[in-house]
Structure 1
Amino acid sequence: VVFNVAAIANNNLQDLKTGQLVESTPSKQQWALVIGVIASALVIPPVLDLVNKAYGFAGAPGASAHALPAPQAGLISALGQAVIQNDPEKWQLMGWGVLIGAGIITLDWLLSKTTRSMRVPPLAVGLGIYLPTASTLMVTMGALVGWWFDRGADRTAKPDATKQLGVLLASGLIVGESVLAVIFTALVAFTNNQFPIGVVGDSFSTASEWLGGIAFVLVIYALYRWVGRALSAA
């Protein structure tokens, strides 16, 4: 109960802080939350059911060989089992986690007092510990791309507007990837084929990963260059 109260309080503080940044009011934020809850209740359950039928989730009954990992769900499940079952080993691991977290927070505070730019964000470290590398690697790459773009934006005539367009572009990529993933999942579920749009065999898998990565880098570079030039010409 205490854990849930703390999590909800933290969520409310984050919402209020965000509302202050965008000059919103608590009442408008509450209405936005109501709309968000209704929309989520209508959209998320059928999408999750579709994903479960197409792939399944790692650790769940009936999961396929291509089951999707669910690290957050696994973490919360492990915490709940440790509390309910009162497992000494799991409590010990939780204690070590608390000590590691306290150490990282202390190190971050010391670096903030002794250096200008070197920091160890506790949230980033925590995400790196329990999220798979496939997820954290792209977060790191995104941070590097954002840093590179912000440096270029600072040299333009409208740095703030350029950075905002960069954020919008990144947000569009995230949303677009999610929409395409749902569409692809629907194809897998309805055709009962794990590779419904595959045009080459398994022998091309390694080459396709390299080609896809190179194409992604080139597209990102071209899009961000286009954003910078569009604002410079405006």
Structure 2
Amino acid sequence: MKTESSAELTLRGTKTESRVELTLRGLVLGVVLTVVFTAANVYFGLKAGLTFSTSIPAVVISMAMLRWLGNTSAQENNIVQTVASTAGTLSSIIFVLPGFIMIGWWSGFPYWQSVAICATGGILGVMYSIPLRRALVTDSDLPYPEGTACAEVIKVGSGDVADKDSVESSGKGLKAVLVGSLVSALFLVMVQARLFLGDVAHSFRL
């Protein structure tokens, strides 16, 4: 019996009066968020050894910005977060490319070869997602907690639960993201100016 994922059911429950899915502004916003989040993810991955998911932050920013432009929809916000979610996967290439140097195949990072590897991986990912969607998403009972949470954020932010509360929550979410970015930038400036220690390292013998 055919079943649907909880994320798909949640999104399907939103209003579809002005169901505009693929728009130019949505694509532009998604590309901008992808560039920003990819750079942040690459830096964070090289610094800490792990990357973060970009779907929910992208949804919060998308809802706040597209609401200012007016006539937005849950589907349009979903397109933005789908485009921006590639920042969380593409940046993981930082864990693959250094392997070519470690095994002696590369002595540096050739630009066009690196681009070709990233593009090939992205194309193969899109191609494999088509046949695997039915097996892993549509006909699967897997919960996908992150996707479900992202769909719930889109549903609330689209004004289908409480219009005033959704506007306030999306605005507060964007404000929190901006404040966090400013604090991080200020901390980085202080570290570069040697006014504050970026980290503390101490060696000891067991």
TM superposition score category, shorter chain reference:
0.3 to 0.5
More helix as a share of residues: 1
| TM-score (structure 1 length as normaliser) | 0.34
